[in-house]
């Protein structure tokens, strides 16, 4: 006997849950430092175009597959292409990407939990900038502490997903996502009062093409993919809970605009602090955990500012990991006929075990020879693997399937159902069939070394 499919209780509930999934550490952790490394305004403009021309069509595509089948990735591709079709491999790839990302994402989220407690303890008080910066190095190399925070964060995530779609995910999304926006906006308003705000605004919103490289354009595409939660099958799974009356194109645009807004507000919050004290925006991945604590210590109200910021990081991470865990748990429920509670706890345990190498990466207590072989520790290697290969290839397969392999009548019907934007069906098909695959292939070719976009761009 088949289990009755859960559905979102309201359109608002879906929007907040999907936005919470997309608004994760990609927006608050990755977007600021990658924008800083790529020169600001021109990169932000390219990122915006990538979100609208590549991510928007693909986001619609995942929702179309999900609602058409009311299934998770593997089962959805099996139904639409036939049980013996190799297309279901696209579903397994999405699940694999989710599992790997979740394993190291929980580690970063654990750092945010740790820094929230550190902020409450006023860890910057009486310490020099060098001593404040060294705290992150100490944390990263302390395997047991990383494992503790990783486990606690996974338990938080499991507690939300355990309640189901309406009582768990949707209910908490209505609390966490608005709270996330409120804290973010409050911090951004504070940053706007700082002396470095004008310089930060110019850096973020005035395009300087001299600072943008061809490689930076592909970085913008890769970042947009990560921040929109595409290629994991998460949006597909969330789409499987949508009602027939829900408007897929309009809802997709709202979610992506909310994601864009958070990334930009995060930039408005972070860069004025950096410029106010003469720091360089190219701080890299350590921007959030190393540079910002040093700067918070120089500002009045350090305790409140620092705690609010890292609590914001925890909220953004939690709304994303909830979607990761739901994708995996729902897949187990369908593939193995497990009840929700068993799926949630088994997947949580599996993710915890898979995340141990990332938790212990900088401590040298596990796979100590890894950096010598791969040129980076396990954490960096595995995250790079997902960013460069898993997500782009998964996104490519989804776009090709929706554009060319999915039954035309079903695809078009799902796009048109519940929407007043029917006139955009043909433009959407053009983008999902041609532009999206072309851009993703360019990203993949760059990653393989088959082309060097900077060399092509600079060729006279």
CATH number at residue 39: 1.10.4160.10
Kindly list the distances between the CA atom of residue 399 and the CA atoms of 59, 209, 287, 403, in Å, as whole numbers in the listed order: 10, 30, 34, 6
1 within a domain of the structure (yes/no): no
365 within a domain of the structure (yes/no): yes
3 within a domain of the structure (yes/no): no
> pLDDT category, 459, cuts 50, 70, 90?
low
pLDDT at 5: 66
> pLDDT category, 152, cuts 50, 70, 90?
very high
101 within a domain of the structure (yes/no): yes
198 within a domain of the structure (yes/no): yes
Q: What is the pLDDT of residues 196-210, one digit of tens each?
A: 999 999 999 998 877
- Which residue, among 98, 90, 96, 140, has the nearest Cα to 115 in the 3D structure? 140
318 within a domain of the structure (yes/no): yes
Give the per-residue SS3 of 292-348.
HHHHHCCCCCHHHHHHHHHHHHHHHHHHHHHHHHHHHHHHHHHHHCCCHHHHHHHHH
Between 307-316, 346-355, 431-440, the lowest mean confidence (pLDDT) is in 307-316
Average pLDDT over the chain, rounded to an integer: 88
Q: Once rounded to an integer, what is the mean pLDDT over residues 413-436?
A: 96
239 within a domain of the structure (yes/no): yes
6 within a domain of the structure (yes/no): no
pTM, to two decimals: 0.90
> pLDDT category, 283, cuts 50, 70, 90?
low
pLDDT at 1 over 50: no
pLDDT at 338: 94
Split into its structural domains, the chain has a count of 1
Q: Once rounded to an integer, what is the mean pLDDT over residues 311-325?
A: 88
Where in the sequence is the domain holding 417, given as residue range(s)? Answer: 11-458
């Amino acid at each position: 006997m088949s289990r009755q499919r859960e559905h979102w209780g309201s359109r608002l509930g879906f929007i907040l849950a999907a936005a919470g999934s997309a608004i994760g550490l990609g927006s608050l952790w990755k977007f600021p430092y990658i924008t800083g490394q790529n020169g600001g305004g021109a990169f932000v403009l390219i990122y915006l175009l990538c979100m609208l021309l590549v991510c928007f069509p693909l986001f619609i595509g995942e929702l179309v597959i999900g609602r058409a089948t009311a299934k998770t990735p593997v089962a959805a591709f099996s139904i639409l292409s036939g049980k013996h079709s190799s297309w279901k491999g696209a579903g397994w790839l999405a699940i694999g990407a989710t599992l790997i990302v979740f394993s190291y994402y929980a580690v970063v989220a654990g750092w945010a939990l740790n820094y929230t407690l550190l902020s409450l303890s006023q860890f910057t008080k009486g310490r020099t900038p060098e001593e404040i910066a060294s705290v992150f190095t100490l944390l990263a190399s302390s395997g047991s502490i990383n494992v503790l925070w990783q486990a606690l964060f996974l338990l938080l995530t499991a507690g939300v997903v355990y309640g189901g779609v309406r009582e768990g995910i949707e209910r908490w999304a209505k609390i966490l996502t608005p709270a996330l926006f409120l804290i973010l906006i409050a911090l951004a308003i504070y940053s706007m009062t700082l002396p470095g705000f004008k310089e930060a605004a110019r850096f973020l919103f005035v395009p300087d093409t001299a600072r943008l490289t061809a490689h930076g354009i592909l970085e913008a595409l890769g970042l947009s993919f990560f921040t929109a939660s595409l290629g994991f099958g998460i949006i597909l799974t969330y789409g499987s809970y949508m009602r027939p009356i829900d408007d897929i194109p309009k809802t997709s645009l709202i979610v992506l605009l909310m994601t864009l807004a958070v990334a930009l507000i995060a930039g408005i919050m972070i860069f004025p602090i950096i410029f106010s004290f003469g720091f360089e925006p190219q701080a890299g991945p350590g921007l959030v955990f190393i540079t910002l604590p040093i700067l918070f210590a120089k500002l009045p109200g350090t305790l409140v500012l620092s705690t609010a910021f890292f609590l914001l990081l925890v909220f953004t991470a939690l709304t994303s990991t909830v979607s990761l865990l739901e994708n995996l748990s729902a897949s187990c429920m369908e593939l193995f006929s497990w009840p929700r509670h068993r799926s949630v706890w088994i997947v949580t345990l599996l993710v915890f075990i898979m995340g141990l190498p990332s938790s212990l990466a900088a401590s040298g207590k596990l796979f100590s020879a890894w950096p010598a072989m791969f040129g980076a520790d396990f954490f960096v290697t595995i995250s790079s693997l997902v960013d460069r290969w898993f997500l782009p290839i998964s996104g490519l397969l989804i776009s090709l399937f929706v554009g060319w392999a999915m039954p035309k009548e079903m695809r078009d019907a799902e796009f048109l159902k519940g929407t007043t934007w029917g006139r955009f069906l043909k433009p959407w098909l053009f983008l999902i069939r041609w532009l999206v695959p072309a851009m993703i292939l360019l990203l993949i070719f760059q990653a393989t070394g088959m082309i060097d976009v900077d060399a092509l761009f600079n060729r006279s």
